[in-house]
Structure 1
Amino acid sequence: MTGRQIFFVANEVNELGGVGRWQTQMARLLAERGHRVTIIGVSPPQMPMNLGENPPFETLTLYERRPPAHHRPRPLLGRFDPAVREQEADRRAAAERLSRIFRAARPGAVIIVTQVWAMEWVARADTAGHPVIGISHESFEASRASSRFERVLTYYRNVDRLLVLTQEDADLWVGEGLNNVGFMPNPLPLTPGTPSPRTEKAVACIGRLSHDKGVDLLLDVWAQAAPRQPGWILRIHGAGEKETELRQQCAELNLDDSVEWAGQTDDVTEALRRSSVCVQSSRREGFPLVLLEAMACGVPCVAFDCSPGVREIVRDGEDGLLARHGSTSELARHLVRLMSDEKLRDTLGTRARENVRRFAPDVITRRWEELFDFLER
């Protein structure tokens, strides 16, 4: 196989979070299969993620500082407003830099735009001769509730392929008049050799301490579940803007004795191996990597059924348990059920480790390469 030249164009090269982790993993997987990969970020990261030593791909960033949001022209000045003209000049210069990079690419190159904000620059650039693949990493419903919805409809309408995370989401975007939509699940982020022994009385929550991740809802859940299963702890791995507020809520609920704030972790596998259950209480999700990771570690998951991606990963009652979106009482019941039943934990955890193999990295990477071949025809 002759390797292709592949460009990932993103908001940031090494953004902390699920999109950044996915992007880094896919860049590595494709580079390992002989492709020449470059990640291009629009702006420097606000919260950088470690890319590891000697990553097998190149990186560059268009701006030294994050570019400001679009200026609205002041009344009477319109497009002659100096601030608007300066911003337009900056964006044209950045787009021209992209154009030079794409023009110099060899035949067969592919441009993958991982976030719709980054597409605003790619749309201005000269991409002639190279297929452009746009990606939305969130569910249709989450996108529709945000400003990204109209931008997806605007900026991804004419790309060669718009990829979302599930067939269910793809069908919804088709209903909005997009005829270029397909779906591509995220690959399994890790393949641990040994599963969790599921012996420690610990429930793991791994994710950013933000509104969307719903850790405030989880604390309400834990206040219902913990008294029914004394001796168990909720171990929260993560950092974020809501941490102070969440710690205060924890204290007010008298949960300090059963909640451990473990901070951000660079070793997700070890965090999961020290757990017997994984819980996710998100308000919104796309195709959550932590559920894949937990299942790969043989840790059964309990989660809100908040998106097609969640129910695509976790098969309710077969390899994990799903609660109605936002039902803290139901999520608490599911947690108690797993905490109290070792046999059920083992059964679901074993099935989870088997079932998650359908998202193995080699399986997903081959699907990407098949798409590249199709778009080149």
Structure 2
Amino acid sequence: MTSTTAPRTGRDLFLVANTVDELGGVTAWTHQMARLFQGAGHRVHVIGVHEAELKLPLPADLGYEVTSLYPAHPPTPRPVRGLNRLSPAAHRREARRLADRGRAVARLSELFRAARPGAVAVVTQVWPMEWLREADTAGLRIIGMSHESYAYTRACHRYRSVKRNYPSADRWLALTQEDADDWIADGMHNVGAMPNALAHLPEIPSARTAKVVCSVGRLADQKGIDMLVDTWAEVAPHRPDWTLRIYGAGSDEPDLRRQCTELGLDRSVQWMGRTDDVAGALAESAVFVQSSRGEGFPLALMEAMASAVPCAAFDCAPGVREIVRDGEDGLLAPPGDTAALADRLLRLTGNPRLRDAMGERARVNVQRFSEERVLERWEELFALLER
């Protein structure tokens, strides 16, 4: 790609994600960074492949442009075998898919071509690179990202997409140096590390007096809420005056509620639904729990620590153990070990002095991921790519 110099007024930055409005941590991160970049003098455009069904609440006026290439999730291409090769309906569906894809790629190319010299496209998730590979990206610097750990990506279909699409990017960013080292050992040579940023530090931390354990996340397999329910079944008999509040929405909710009922936990578990006020939920909690099967650099964990709420979590990714210093400002358990996670929760719920000490240290320690510090790292990367 041609080396160019960014204008004095800032760069044109494209943040390209699966969606611009899906309820979830990556979408929240995308708009957080868009606000930061816009405030730093850049001209920001957030682009999503499609509009989401389960939406993240967003202000009507974001202060920057937002575009979705499709109104809904585009159809997945499927190999045509056997009799389907002779099916006129299958041919029509494939023709429509290709025509829609052509229009999406043309729209993406149009947006890129209108950018000023020195523009950068930050591809925040793996899937959108399928469209960028076909689009006109001449003159753009391309930064690819994943918001998963190396191990989680390695175990799923996205690994093949990374290996196919990201070697040609100007930089491929993992969330931690440990993940970056794993990608380098796997043969990637353009790798760097960039943590997520702490969104804000509440003025008044949680008092940690309410006997409430809090979980915040989508009710989906990755977040491991089924394992959290199993964990709570071990905790609840020892802490009959404590409540587990589960904030989030998702397709797994009916099965999770049924599991909760079968384990006799309905009186000690509250299903709070999705919330637009995570800080408020944390202010009413004394302990935060994260039971994910896989993570990248979880924002909810940082938000809990910023509220001085000590965390118990599965050590499921380098990002988790980079945020939480085990035994100092939180407690980690081996991935998937519900008995060990129950032990950590029993320790935190049963010892107010431990809760207070870890909560206060968490609030101080998590500030190393402040927006100001992370923005500085991004600016350093942009400057490096211009050379």
TM-score, normalized by length of structure 2? Answer: 0.94
For 1:312 and 1:204, locate their aligned partners in 2 and report how far apart those are by CA, in whole Å. 21
- The Cα offsets for residues 89-114 of structure 1, whole Å up to 9 and x where unpaired, read as 33233212211211111011110111
**1:74 Cα deviation from its structure 2 partner:** 4.3
Aligned residue in 1 for 2:201: 191
Match of 2:76 among 69, 74, 89: 69
Is 2:43 aligned against 1:33?
no
Determine helix, strand or coil for the equivalent of 1:246: helix
**1:75 Cα deviation from its structure 2 partner:** 5.2
- The Cα offsets for residues 270-322 of structure 1, whole Å up to 9 and x where unpaired, read as 00000000001111111111110000000000001011110010000010000
Aligned residue in 1 for 2:115: 105
Measured on the aligned residues, the alpha-carbon RMSD in Å equals 1.6
Q: Give % identity.
A: 55
Determine helix, strand or coil for the equivalent of 1:367: helix
Partner amino acid, structure 2, of 1:48: K
Determine helix, strand or coil for the equivalent of 2:30: helix
Residues 135-150 of structure 1: matches in 2 within 5 Å? 135-150=145-160
- The Cα offsets for residues 78-135 of structure 1, whole Å up to 9 and x where unpaired, read as 9x95544443333233212211211111011110111111110011111111100111
Question: Does the CA-based 8 Å contact 2:51-2:72 persist in structure 1?
Answer: yes
Structure 2 gap segments, 5+ residues each = 1-7
Change (3 A) 1:246 1:109: same
Aligned residue in 2 for 1:341: 351
- The Cα offsets for residues 133-189 of structure 1, whole Å up to 9 and x where unpaired, read as 111110111111111010011011101011111111111111221101111000002
Is 2:231 aligned against 1:224?
no
Determine helix, strand or coil for the equivalent of 1:193: coil
Aligned residue in 1 for 2:67: 60
Is 2:208 aligned against 1:208?
no
Match of 1:321 among 331, 339, 363: 331
For 1:248 and 1:91, locate their aligned partners in 2 and report how far apart those are by CA, in whole Å. 41
Determine helix, strand or coil for the equivalent of 1:117: coil
Match of 1:14 among 13, 21, 38: 21
For 2:104 and 2:227, locate their aligned partners in 1 and report how far apart those are by CA, in whole Å. 42
Question: Does the CA-based 8 Å contact 1:201-1:275 persist in structure 2?
Answer: yes
Partner amino acid, structure 1, of 2:36: L
Aligned residue in 1 for 2:12: 5
Question: Does the CA-based 8 Å contact 1:157-1:180 persist in structure 2?
Answer: yes
Structure 1 gap segments, 5+ residues each = none
Residues 255-294 of structure 1: matches in 2 within 5 Å? 255-294=265-304
Is 2:310 aligned against 1:310?
no
Determine helix, strand or coil for the equivalent of 2:164: helix
Aligned residue in 1 for 2:187: 177
Further displaced range: 69-78 or 128-137 = 69-78
Question: Does the CA-based 8 Å contact 1:71-1:83 persist in structure 2?
Answer: no
- The Cα offsets for residues 23-55 of structure 1, whole Å up to 9 and x where unpaired, read as 010001111111110111111112121222411
For 1:181 and 1:75, locate their aligned partners in 2 and report how far apart those are by CA, in whole Å. 42
Aligned residue in 2 for 1:355: 365
Partner amino acid, structure 2, of 1:311: R
Further displaced range: 315-324 or 9-18 = 9-18
Change (3 A) 1:107 1:43: same
For 1:221 and 1:228, locate their aligned partners in 2 and report how far apart those are by CA, in whole Å. 12
For 2:20 and 2:258, locate their aligned partners in 1 and report how far apart those are by CA, in whole Å. 34
For 1:65 and 1:334, locate their aligned partners in 2 and report how far apart those are by CA, in whole Å. 42
TM-score, normalized by length of structure 1? Answer: 0.96
Aligned residue in 2 for 1:43: 50
For 1:224 and 1:83, locate their aligned partners in 2 and report how far apart those are by CA, in whole Å. 51
Question: Does the CA-based 8 Å contact 2:171-2:191 persist in structure 1?
Answer: yes
For 1:125 and 1:280, locate their aligned partners in 2 and report how far apart those are by CA, in whole Å. 39
Match of 1:241 among 224, 232, 251: 251
Question: Does the CA-based 8 Å contact 2:305-2:363 persist in structure 1?
Answer: yes
Further displaced range: 50-59 or 130-139 = 50-59
For 2:238 and 2:96, locate their aligned partners in 1 and report how far apart those are by CA, in whole Å. 61
Partner amino acid, structure 1, of 2:239: Q
For 1:84 and 1:227, locate their aligned partners in 2 and report how far apart those are by CA, in whole Å. 56
For 1:37 and 1:283, locate their aligned partners in 2 and report how far apart those are by CA, in whole Å. 33
Question: Does the CA-based 8 Å contact 2:57-2:276 persist in structure 1?
Answer: no
For 2:82 and 2:186, locate their aligned partners in 1 and report how far apart those are by CA, in whole Å. 34
Alignment: residue pair count: 376
Partner amino acid, structure 2, of 1:58: E
For 2:229 and 2:194, locate their aligned partners in 1 and report how far apart those are by CA, in whole Å. 33
Question: Does the CA-based 8 Å contact 1:206-1:236 persist in structure 2?
Answer: yes
